[in-house]
Structure 1
Amino acid sequence: MKDRDSKIQTIMTGYRRGFLSRREALRALGAVGLAAGAAPLLDFAALADEAGKQAGPGGIPLSRPDKPVTLPLNGDPIKSGLEPEKGPFHIFNYQDYIDQVSVIDTFSKKYGVEVVLTTFDSMDQAITRLASGTVEVDSTNITPDRLAQGVAGKLLQPLNHSYIPNLEKNIFKSLQNPFYDQGSQYSVPYNLYSTGIGWRTDKVKTDIGSLANPWSVFWDESSKEYSGYTGILDDARESLGMAMQYRGLTDMNTEDAAVLDKALADLKATVPISNPKINITEYQTLADGSCWIHQSWSGDMLGAIISYWPEGQDKSILKYWWPGKGKGVTQNDCWALLAKSKKPVLGHLWLNHICDAEVAYNNTTTYTGYQPAQKSFNADELVKAGILPEQLKNIILTEEDVGAGSLQYCALTPKGQGMWQDAYAKFNSGS
């Protein structure tokens, strides 16, 4: 029975990855004793990416790097040539993800307005608070997989690019017309990042990046010596996605309940082995030594060095690994304007400010560590300037890394979004 199940798993993996057609998979399943009539129980439609098969929130097509989507307009953009409103101006963002001095204060001084920052802990929390009206803000940080949800819920307003010349001037060409928001009708890109593993070589003797499967460090029995000093990102897509990659799966937008159930079970299996903490503060905990191994966003490695690294401590002990383009996740996030904002001109000027080359460079190199989507940003120059340690050059992505063929978390159907959130809630709550 165990051998039969293994063969079935091999066949299903071949189907998911495109090596087998549906007909070939059915024939192979029949050969191992699973009747073709039982095949519907496997729900072949759910095993493939839902893009092109089902619509996302509000009937909007699901976007993918190879399936770009133009979002429907919620009314018309504001007119050109309007004067900016008076403050205060309210923004919504992750904590520790924007510099007060180089970004907020410079905008405040330039336009003579107070800028008020309200923070959230996760994108799920941000969307929930925006949709429920429990926060009233003018501009929000948002990830591409949630843009369509924001548009469908009429939370966001379309943009007038005459106020945002820095978008065309400074931003990666592909992200001026991104697959998730063709024409940048609702968003401008903020930062780029990959998702991998950060670790301290003074505490972890294993070269994680050289392991046959680096993700296994969270599950391998040998990792018990790091128990309590490991961490997993407090993010539904990232945590479950890591468990899938551990198993060799790369459909980061699956809506297959069996795959999500297995990912949930695998995440739970880390608890008795590595006892991971669940948070998004690895930029601080890796720096202060309270964590030794953490699933990490690439920008948090430089953020750790810039803002939290103890004076006099060797910076070369911090290392980062990610699987590479098409094998590991890359992503960018965005800024957008709220439909209910009473300061839409200021909002557009804020987006232009975010895309300013000097503002973006200073935000990265003096505070966040996250790479802006700027044409001028260069890893070698950062190393030469003494900002980026040589061993961390792999945190800097190229435009190609986030382009066609990249592995990204994308929009899901409402049902799929709920499935991911429910699975993650069960892990995070310990249930």
Structure 2
Amino acid sequence: MSRQLHLGAFLMGVGHHASAWRLPGADPAALTRPSYYKALAQTAERGKFDYVFFADRLALSDRYGNDLQASVRYLTGPRLDPVTLLGVLAGATSHIGLAATASTTFNHPFSLARTFASLDHLSEGRIGWNIVTSTNDGEALNFSAEPILEHELRYRRAREFVELALKLWDSWEDDALVHDKLDGHFADPDRVHYVNHAGEFFDVRGPLNVPRSPQGRPVLIQAGSSDTGQDFAASVADVIFTAQPDLQKAKDFYRTVNQRLAGQGRAPGSLKIMPGVMPFVGKSQDEAQARFAELEDNVHPLAGLALLSDSMNHDLSIYPLDEPLPAVHNIRGNQSRFKLVQELSQREGLTLRQLGKRFGGSRSHRVLAGTASEIADDLEQWFSEQACDGFNIMPPYLPDALTEFVDQVVPQLQRRGLFRKEYTGTTLREHLGLERPSSQFAQP
């Protein structure tokens, strides 16, 4: 097949499932050990994944009850700075892409552009940036700002932030460094440019003090599925993360995003659409379902409600636990995720307690429980029916669920000709089949 499936390993804590830390074999103390993350990245690289990815949030999940009770008691809330972590993993791997979240709301374009350009050099072209806008007041309170910016304003700032970052990454042309020892010319000043950006949120002269990196710029990833988020992704992103629990809706989303992409004058396939999937791999369907049920039984409802309150930026503790989720308007947090949760609650008639247990498990992403062959069948169907370009694999428990997927599901996909057996490129852009962009300042 000319069209190849893409796989990202979306790694979080000791697993994405909120009760993963309670499993007998889980080691929550490993979350501050470099050896733990190195081993995970090396497992994903052995499976020939396009990239490993780490999310981030700039606060503990304290929106539920506006205190730390639910978060600290029931969740593995602490997390290391993922951008720093990429530097450690760059030295522990050789091919796999390395991506991390960084907020446009509470960072500055110059310092962030410099950090990601540096990492792209140090990893020899394997870095990706997941662009997010911070969504809750807990984050704002950690940066001397409250409340959080409104949805449209956050995206306006994000657009300008990325526009400026692109200028900074391009401020050195590819051939600016000449290293002419005979004439004593280190670089060509005509190929290093001030950006002189003056906008609504930022005034930056530039240029960046890091030369253009191996990929030209890091791979840009965007995770919003709202109309605003889709437009943003279609204009600048290389990859879009999304939660799509239903095949037909995923196909509609895929078609809509590609229409928006064409509206931006971009070529088909230049934006990879990758929904999240949480796989439970077993020797039989019953074994896989039993693993899933074990984790579901151990989810404390308040763990899920703490995560959901954080995502919505809305305190759900004000509502009775054993009544349905009421109509909530003017959500200032993650709007697309709240829409999925609201639809689930109404469709299945869930109480808030039940919704907490459910959200603590999948976080609205699709759960697959079955044999390796059954899971590969499902992934192949979604891929072949144009519902996606690949998947972000969200291991429910770590490290075992990642190892099981690599050792059992990946060979199934390889035998079907859907997925690479070896890396054919060296950069993340090459893994994803993306062109290397030229500098906007490039001269003939």
TM-score normalised to structure 1 length: 0.24
TM-score normalised to structure 2 length: 0.24
